Amino acid sequence: MKPVVHVELTGAAIKTVLILLLLTIGVLALVWLLAGPGYAIAGGIAVIVIVRGLYALFTPSSE
C-alpha cells in the first residue's frame, strides 16, 4: 500500500506563496541592477529548477 500525502491550500498559504513570489522577483530585479543580467537570469533558472523539483517531490508517481 502506497502512502498518501494530503495537502490543503488555505487562503493564508496562497497569500504566503504570492508574497514569496514577489520577494523572489524583487531580489532578482535587485541582482539585475547590481550584478548584471547574467546573474539574475542564472538565479531565475535556479528558482525554476527548485520549484520543479519540489513539484516532482510532491506529485505521485505514474506507476
What are 41-59's pLDDT values in tens digits? 999 999 999 999 988 887 8
pTM for this structure?
Answer: 0.75
Residue 34 burial class via C-beta count within 10 angstroms: exposed 0-12, middle 13-18, buried 19 and up: exposed
Residue 23: the pLDDT is 97
Beta strands in 1-63 (DSSP E): none
Q: Would you say residue 5 has pLDDT above 90?
A: no
Residue 63: the pLDDT is 64
Nearest 5°: the CA angle 29, 25, 9 is 175
